[in-house]
Amino acid sequence: MTNLNEIKQQILTVLITVKNQLRQNYHFEQVNTKTNRNDLVTDRDISIEKTVVRFLKEHFPQAQIVSEEGYGNHPQNLKGLVFFVDPIDGTMNFVKCHDQFASMIGVYEDAQPIFGAIVDVMQDKIYYGGPEIGAFIDQQPLKKLDDLPLNKVLITISNRLLQNDAVTYQDLVSNSSGLRIFGSAGIVFTRLLTGKEHLYVGKFKPWDLAAGRAIGKAIGIDVTPIDGAPINMLKSQLVIVGTRCATQQALDVISRVK
Ligand code: IPD
Ligand code: CA
Ligand code: CA
């Protein structure tokens, strides 16, 4: 059986190291594009991912690793212990010298979230937790979130979704208290965890969701695929992340418009 305390200590250790390195040396040498001109990777994304993957392999040799830039194991299933690594989440913000970027690691066992941690580099804060241990910001417990209706909450939607399907999501925004956009899934999760926004809609990769999903589960945040399929942490999915009542009402709005 997995030692959750050991996982927590090791994940916090490696993410705090990454955060300190980025804060001491906010710098990159190279920027390349991946799937499109706004999908970026820098030499720092790669060097951080290599550091984290090396650390995880050394401390958890039996585990599988899914990591964004390709230095993990590319597992075909989620049996046993699986780590999901996003070395810099919000690379565009990092390149543009915006404050909002994060590093994150999600830990799953037999496909179930057990632990996650998100470090907000520039705010120097670490959010972590899981269904069994609760949610924390820098050792302080986070409160269970109020289950507010859609018309009482701020929402956030990924840029890409708004570009591709403005009509559906315009309707969603007009049924809410308003829209905020941040450019980093990790940072949005930290805002959901502290009740600033209550809903987040987008098409995300497993490493965008893994850590926040594990922490959020402890305080009333769910990740719900919009097409009604079960969540699959080995592929990209269009999902709503958020508290229950607002999520249900958002799904109703989307199905009415579509
Ligand atoms: C991206 C950011 C962005 C979200 C994209 C992600 P990356 O992650 O989180 O806010 O809208 O879906 O891919 O590429 O900067 O790690
Ligand atoms: Ca990334
Ligand atoms: Ca990401």
Question: Hey, what are 36's tokens?
Answer: 């499109």
Question: Ligand 3 centroid to 98 CA: how many Å?
Answer: 15
Mean pLDDT for all residues in the chain: 97
State pLDDT tens for residues 213-252: 999 999 999 999 999 999 999 999 999 999 999 999 999 9
Please name which of 154, 203, 204, 192 lies closest in space to residue 175, comparing C-alpha atoms: 154
pLDDT interval class at 2 (50, 70, 90): confident
Query: Rounded CA gap, 64 and 1, in Å?
Result: 16
Q: How far is the CA of 39 from the centre of ligand 3 (A)?
A: 10
How far CA 54 is from CA of 31, 50, 86, 116, 128, in Å, comes to 23, 6, 14, 18, 21
The ligand placed nearest to the CA atom of residue 88 is: 2
Calculate the alpha carbon distances from 81 to 175, 198, 218 in Å: 40, 30, 19
CA of 61 to the centre of ligand 3 (A): 25
Judged against a pLDDT cut of 80, whether residue 258 lies above it is answered with no
The first and second tokens of residue 164, run together, are 């591709």
What pLDDT, in 10s, does the model give residues 77-132?
Answer: 999 999 999 999 999 999 999 999 999 999 999 999 999 999 999 999 999 999 99
pLDDT at 1: 54
| Ligand in nearest proximity to the CA of 208 | 3
Q: What is the CA radius of gyration of the chain?
A: 17
Which residues are placed with Cβ below 5 angstroms of ligand 2, an ion?
68, 86, 89
Answer yes or no: pTM beyond 0.85. yes
pLDDT category of residue 46 using cuts at 50, 70 and 90: very high
Cβ atoms of residues 107 and 11 within 8 Å: yes
- Ligand 1 atom at minimum distance from 160 CA: 11
Q: Pocket of ligand 1, candidates 203, 208, 240: which has the most ligand atoms within 8 Å of its Cβ, to mutate? A: 208
Max CA separation in the chain (angstroms): 50
Atom of ligand 1 nearest to the CA of 158: 11
* Span 8-37, pLDDT tens digits: 999 999 999 999 999 999 999 999 999 999
Identify the nearest ligand to the CA of 49 by its number: 2
Residues 6 or more apart from 131 whose CB is under 8 A from it? 113, 114, 214, 217, 218
Residues in the chain: 258
Which pLDDT score, from 0 to 100, does residue 257 have?
83
